[in-house]
C-alpha cells in the first residue's frame, strides 16, 4: 500500500514560503509515515526543494491572478489520483482552497481568508495584531485556537534551508566566484515595491567600506531580472577592478540560494532573499524601511535588523506616500557597516 500523503499549497512569495518551513517540520514530526508534497508556483518552487522535509514539489500550472476554474478542476483530478488525505492551504484566497476541495481531499486546513467556509473544513482565525509569519503558518499544524500560547510560539523551530557543497561548487565555477576568497552577498531588490529598497548609492558606499576593510573580499549582487538596474547602479558605484559580481537575473533562484549559503554575510532589504539568508543561517543584516522589523525578522544566529523607526513607519506601502522615502534614504552606510563589520571579523 502507498504511503499516505499530505499536500501543502505554497504561498506566492519567496519569503513567505521560507517562513512556512517550521510548519513542515511540525507536520513531519506529527505524521512520520506521511509523504509531504508541496504545490508551488514555479518562481517559488526552488525554495521548497531546499527543504529536507519535502518529498516532492509540484509546480502550479496556473497563471498568476487568474481563476482558471477549468484548469483547476483538471489539476484537481490529477491530485485525486495521488491519494492525499489532508491538505494545508497557505494562501488566503478562494482559488487555492478550491483545489483540495475539488480533489476530494478529506481534511482541508487553512485560515478563513476570503470566507472559505466549506472549502476549508479545519478553519483557523488570525489574531489582532496579526501573528508573526512563522507563527501564522506554524499554527496550522495544531487545532484552531483563539490565541497562541506565547511560550509555545517562542519555542517554534526556526526556518531552515539546506544547500549542498556540490551546488555551491557548481555556481562558483559557473559565475567565476573564487570559493577560497571571502564573499559578501547584497540583495538590493525588493519585489514588493521601491519603498523597501535601500538606495543603490548606499549599497555602493557599504561595498566600498567592505573592500577597504578586506581587499580580497568578493561582493555578489543578487536578484531577479527586475533588479538588474538597481544592481547595475550599485556596481557602478564600486571601485574599478574590485571583485564585484553583478548577478541580478543571471542566476536561477537555486543558484542564488547556493551562493548565499556560501557567503560570509548577507545584506538585504526586507525581501525573499533576506529570508533565504536567514533560513540558511548566514550572518545577515536586514534593512527595514516601510515594513515592521518585528513582523518577519531574520532568524540567523548572527543577525541585525536595522530600522530608523520613523513616525511614519511602518506605512507598508509599495511606494513612499510622502515622496521622500526617508526611512531608507536616511539610513546611512556607516550605520549598516557598524552592524556588518563584527560579522566579518
Ligand atoms: S511614509 Fe515613511 S515609512 Fe513609508 S516609505 Fe515613506 S518614509 Fe518610509
Distance CA 173, CA 264 (A): 18
Measure 266 CA to ligand 1 centroid, in angstroms. Answer: 24
| 91 pocket-lining for ligand 1 (C-beta < 6 Å) | no
What's the whole-model pTM score? 0.87
Which pLDDT band, with edges at 50, 70 and 90, does 1 fall under?
A: low
Q: What is the pLDDT of residues 181-233, one digit of tens each?
A: 999 999 998 877 889 999 999 999 999 999 999 999 999 999 999 999 999 99
Sheet strand arrangement including 107-111: 56-59, 35-40, 5-9, 84-89, 107-111, 122-124
- Could you tell me which residue, 193 or 245, shows the higher pLDDT? 245
Mean residue pLDDT across the chain? 93
Probe target for ligand 1 pocket from 312, 318, 324, with the most ligand atoms within 8 Å of CB: 312
DSSP structural state of residue 128: S
Q: What is the pLDDT of residue 289?
A: 95
Q: Fold identical between 5-154 and 165-344?
A: yes
Distance CA 327, CA 345 (A): 28
Q: What is the pLDDT of residues 45-96, one digit of tens each?
A: 999 999 999 999 999 877 776 667 788 888 899 999 999 999 999 999 998 9
Probe target for ligand 1 pocket from 269, 316, 320, with the most ligand atoms within 8 Å of CB: 320
| 312 pocket-lining for ligand 1 (C-beta < 6 Å) | yes
Cβ 323 vs Cβ 290: under 8 Å = no
| 315 pocket-lining for ligand 1 (C-beta < 6 Å) | yes
pLDDT at 2 over 80: no
Distance CA 261, CA 257 (A): 6
Question: Long-range contacts made by residues 281-286, C-beta under 8 angstroms, separation at least 24?
Answer: 281/160, 283/343, 285/336, 285/339, 285/340, 285/343
Distance CA 35, CA 28 (A): 8
Percent share of the chain, pLDDT over 70? 99
Annotated domain spans of the chain: 5-154, 165-344
| CA distance to 114, 271, 301, 334, per residue, from 341 (Å) | 45, 22, 16, 10
Backbone φ and ψ for 145, nearest 5 degrees, come out as -135, 155
Distance CA 19, CA 133 (A): 6
Q: What is the pLDDT of residue 178?
A: 97
- Could you tell me which residue, 66 or 9, shows the higher pLDDT? 9
Over range 284-307, report the average pLDDT.
92
Q: What is the pLDDT of residue 65?
A: 67
Over range 173-178, report the average pLDDT.
97
Backbone φ and ψ for 176, nearest 5 degrees, come out as 85, 10
Lowest mean pLDDT segment, chosen from 126-130, 232-236, 250-254: 126-130
Measure 142 CA to ligand 1 centroid, in angstroms. Answer: 37
| 317 pocket-lining for ligand 1 (C-beta < 6 Å) | yes
Classify each residue of 178-187 as buried b or exposed e, where b means 16 or more C-beta atoms within 10 Å of its C-beta: eeeebbbbbb
Q: What is the pLDDT of residues 160-175, one digit of tens each?
A: 999 999 999 999 999 9
| 322 pocket-lining for ligand 1 (C-beta < 6 Å) | yes
Probe target for ligand 1 pocket from 198, 309, 324, 329, with the most ligand atoms within 8 Å of CB: 324
| 281 pocket-lining for ligand 1 (C-beta < 6 Å) | no
Measure 200 CA to ligand 1 centroid, in angstroms. Answer: 17
What is the CATH code for 165-344? 3.40.50.2000
Closest CA relative to residue 90, chosen from 167, 19, 170: 19
Which secondary structure element, helix H or strand E, spans residue 117, and what is its range?
A: none
Asked whether the bond before 129 is cis by omega within 30 degrees of 0, the reply is yes
Residues in a beta bridge with 37: 7, 56
| 321 pocket-lining for ligand 1 (C-beta < 6 Å) | yes
Name 309's Cβ contacts closer than 8 Å, sequence gap at least 6.
none
Q: What is the pLDDT of residues 119-161, one digit of tens each?
A: 999 999 988 777 888 999 999 999 998 888 888 888 898 999 9
| 293 pocket-lining for ligand 1 (C-beta < 6 Å) | no
Over range 2-28, report the average pLDDT.
94
Cβ 237 vs Cβ 200: under 8 Å = yes
Q: What is the pLDDT of residue 193?
A: 80
Measure 327 CA to ligand 1 centroid, in angstroms. Answer: 6
* Closest residue by CA, ligand 1 atom 5: 320
Q: What is the pLDDT of residue 62?
A: 75
Measure 334 CA to ligand 1 centroid, in angstroms. Answer: 21
| 308 pocket-lining for ligand 1 (C-beta < 6 Å) | no
Which CATH number is 5-154's, of 3.40.50.300, 3.90.1150.10, 3.40.50.2000, 3.40.50.2300? 3.40.50.2000
Strands 5-9 and 84-89: parallel
Measure 188 CA to ligand 1 centroid, in angstroms. Answer: 18
64: cell is 498568476
Distance CA 96, CA 10 (A): 9
Distance CA 137, CA 23 (A): 6
Amino acid at each position: 500500500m502507498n504511503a499516505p500523503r499530505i499536500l501543502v499549497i505554497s504561498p506566492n512569495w519567496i519569503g513567505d514560503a521560507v517562513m512556512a518551513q517550521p510548519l513542515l517540520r511540525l507536520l513531519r514530526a506529527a505524521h512520520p509515515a506521511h509523504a509531504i508534497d508541496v504545490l508551488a508556483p514555479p518562481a517559488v518552487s526552488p525554495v521548497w526543494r531546499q527543504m529536507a522535509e519535502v518529498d516532492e514539489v509540484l509546480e502550479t500550472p496556473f497563471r498568476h491572478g487568474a481563476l482558471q476554474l477549468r484548469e483547476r478542476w483538471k489539476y484537481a483530478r490529477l491530485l485525486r489520483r495521488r491519494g492525499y488525505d489532508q491538505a494545508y492551504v497557505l494562501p488566503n484566497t478562494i482559488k487555492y482552497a478550491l483545489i483540495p476541495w475539488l480533489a476530494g481531499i478529506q481534511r482541508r486546513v487553512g485560515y478563513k481568508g476570503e470566507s472559505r467556509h466549506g472549502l476549508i473544513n479545519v478553519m483557523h482565525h488570525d489574531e489582532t495584531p496579526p501573528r508573526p509569519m512563522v507563527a501564522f503558518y506554524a499554527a496550522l499544524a495544531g487545532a484552531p485556537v483563539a490565541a497562541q500560547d506565547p511560550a509555545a510560539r517562542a519555542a517554534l523551530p526556526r526556518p531552515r534551508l539546506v544547500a549542498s557543497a556540490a551546488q555551491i561548487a557548481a555556481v562558483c565555477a559557473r559565475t567565476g566566484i573564487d570559493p577560497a576568497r571571502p564573499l559578501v552577498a547584497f540583495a538590493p531588490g525588493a519585489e514588493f515595491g521601491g519603498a523597501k529598497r535601500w538606495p543603490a548609492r548606499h549599497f555602493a558606499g557599504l561595498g566600498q567600506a567592505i573592500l577597504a576593510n578586506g581587499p580580497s573580499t568578493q561582493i555578489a549582487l543578487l536578484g531577479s531580472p527586475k533588479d538588474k538596474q538597481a544592481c547595475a547602479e550599485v556596481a557602478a558605484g564600486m571601485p574599478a577592478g574590485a571583485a564585484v559580481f553583478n548577478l541580478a537575473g543571471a542566476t536561477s533562484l537555486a543558484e542564488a540560494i547556493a551562493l548565499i549559503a556560501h557567503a560570509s554575510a548577507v545584506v538585504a532589504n526586507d525581501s525573499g532573499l533576506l529570508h533565504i539568508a536567514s533560513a540558511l543561517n548566514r550572518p545577515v543584516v536586514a534593512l527595514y524601511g516601510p515594513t515592521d522589523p518585528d513582523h518577519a525578522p531574520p532568524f540567523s544566529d548572527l543577525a541585525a535588523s536595522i530600522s530608523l523607526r520613523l513616525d511614519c513607519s511602518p506605512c507598508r506601502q509599495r511606494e513612499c506616500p510622502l515622496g521622500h522615502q526617508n526611512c531608507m534614504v536616511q539610513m546611512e552606510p556607516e550605520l549598516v557597516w557598524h552592524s556588518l563589520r563584527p560579522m566579518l571579523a
